[in-house]
Amino acid sequence: MRILITGAAGFVASHLATHFLAAGHDVIGADNFVTGRRVNLRYLEPEPRFAFIEHDVVQPLEIAGDLNWVLHFASPASPPKYLKSPLETMRVNSEGTLHLLELAKRKGAKFLIASTSEVYGDPDRAHHPQSESYWGNVNPLGARSVYDEAKRYAEAATALYGRNGLSVRIARLFNTYGPRMDPADGRIVTNFATQALANQPMTIYGNGKQTRSLQYIDDLVAGIGKLMEANYAGPVNLGNPEELTVKQIAELIRELAGSRSELVYHPLPEDDPTQRCPDISLAQRLLKWTPRIPARDGLARTIAHFREELAQSAAVSDRAGA
Ligand code: NAD
Ligand code: UDP
């Protein structure tokens, strides 16, 4: 197959590109580096079947030759990053999604959108864990709405093209982590891991009782692959239902990093969801998929990766200073 993956210099899409290249497919990656990193392309560029286009996918994109899939993963995803680029976030999920849906239609390709558990907003207790039938509890005007509502629009646009005959998939990703994340992206795992490795204070926002369910990247990649094979146009949750409080996540990362960091408390960001856990019964039934990697194992692998990456960048700055 020939697959276009937008956001290929980012965390999730660079892993997907690796996966499809290893399976023998041709991959075209597109990215404008708004939150992605050139270092993530180093895993892909040695592959002769990988091609990269530096492009802002808010602008129409033309691809010469055949195309079997468009996987639209381009979008800032970390709250501090999308709050810093709010308009870019709205545009890549709205205009960008429309252009890429049109591209898929022109090419006779299938289309998959990376949506998010944020479409559920701050879920109420009656809808915990969250299943795909829940319409969500989103503040349409708050700071986070630039991401949440843009993803809801992206789903609506994808569903429309699906009703009009395009073969589409909607993956609702829950918090996913692993190697190749930008250590400075401000998300929970990156902040806690880099702080713990440096024995710096670990910054818990709010009282730390809010929950998240952390999925390791390899499980997500397997789930996306299976969703592409399933002929199902509705939304599908992909996440790990192992639900932990933010404080438990901090303590686990501190333990795994062998750190002496203290836990410090900072104000809770606006509209930060109080609980989040996927109901994955649809994915289990439809895709015969279930996440395999517990938080303890995935976090240990991720911390080891950050330890190495941070040591390498310290060595580079030492050499530059010498
Ligand atoms: P990331 O920031 O690491 O990667 C996003 C990539 O998209 C970056 O390389 C960025 O430069 C690129 N990009 C953004 N706007 C672009 C544009 N206009 N043109 C071209 N490239 C552009 O984030 P990620 O965690 O890898 O997330 C990837 C996708 O998965 C996003 O759509 C995100 O909303 C979704 N998602 C991720 C998670 C998660 O926990 N990681 C959870 C839910 C949904
Ligand atoms: N969080 C935290 N300290 C940090 C970073 C994040 O306590 O240094 C909390 C954040 O308030 C949220 C959870 O961890 O409750 C997950 O945050 P993240 O930014 O990773 O993603 P979200 O799930 O909110 O989109």
Half-sphere exposure of 113 toward its Cβ, with a 13 Å CA cutoff?
33
147 belongs to the catalytic site: yes
Q: Of the candidates 95, 77, 73, which has an alpha carbon nearest to the alpha carbon of residue 85?
A: 77
Q: Is the pLDDT of residue 313 over 90?
A: no
pLDDT of residue 99: 98
Of 71-85, 157-171, 280-294, 308-322, which range is least confident? 308-322
* Tokens read off for 297: 């194992």
Half-sphere exposure of 234 toward its Cβ, with a 13 Å CA cutoff?
9
pLDDT of residue 316: 76
pLDDT in tens, 20-37: 999 999 999 999 999 999
* Tokens read off for 142: 């708050």
Any ligand 2 atom below 6 A from CB of 238? no
Once rounded to an integer, what is the mean pLDDT over residues 90-102? 98
For ligand 2, atom 10: residue with the closest CA: 205
Measured from CB, residues less than 6 Å from any atom of ligand 1 are 6-7, 9-13, 30-36, 56-58, 73-77, 92, 96, 114, 116, 173, 175-176
pLDDT of residue 152: 98
Q: What is the CA radius of gyration of the chain?
A: 19
Ligand number nearest to the C-alpha of 277? 2
Virtual torsion, Cα 218, 215, 154, 13, nearest 10 deg:
-30
For ligand 1, atom 21: residue with the closest CA: 31
234 falls in which pLDDT band (50, 70, 90)?
very high
* Tokens read off for 165: 């005959």
Ligand 2 atom, smallest distance to 208 CA: 7
pLDDT of residue 185: 96
pLDDT in tens, 32-91: 999 999 999 999 999 999 999 999 999 999 999 999 999 999 999 999 999 999 999 999
Query: What rounded mean pLDDT belongs to the chain?
Result: 97
pLDDT of residue 312: 84
- Which of residues 177 and 314 earns the better pLDDT score? 177
322 falls in which pLDDT band (50, 70, 90)?
low
Could you give the residue ranges of the DSSP H alpha helices within the chain?
A: 11-22, 79-84, 86-93, 95-107, 145-163, 188-197, 217-229, 246-256, 281-287, 295-321
Ligand number nearest to the C-alpha of 179? 1
CA of 188 to the centre of ligand 2 (A): 5
Ligand 1 atom, smallest distance to 13 CA: 26
CA of 74 to the centre of ligand 1 (A): 4
pLDDT in tens, 114-169: 999 999 999 998 999 999 999 999 999 999 999 999 999 999 999 999 999 999 99
Residue 47 CA to residue 61 CA, distance in Å, equals 23
- Asked if 35 and 182 touch (Cβ cutoff 8 Å), the reply is yes
Residue 247 CA to residue 256 CA, distance in Å, equals 14
Please identify which of the residues 82, 147, 161, 177 carries the catalytic annotation: 147
319 falls in which pLDDT band (50, 70, 90)?
confident
pLDDT of residue 40: 97
pTM tops 0.85, yes or no: yes
Ligand 2 atom, smallest distance to 187 CA: 20
Any ligand 2 atom below 6 A from CB of 194? no
Q: To the nearest whole percent, how much of the chain has pLDDT over 70?
A: 99
pLDDT of residue 44: 97
Q: Is the pLDDT of residue 320 over 80?
A: no
pLDDT in tens, 201-217: 999 999 999 999 999 99
CA of 281 to the centre of ligand 1 (A): 26
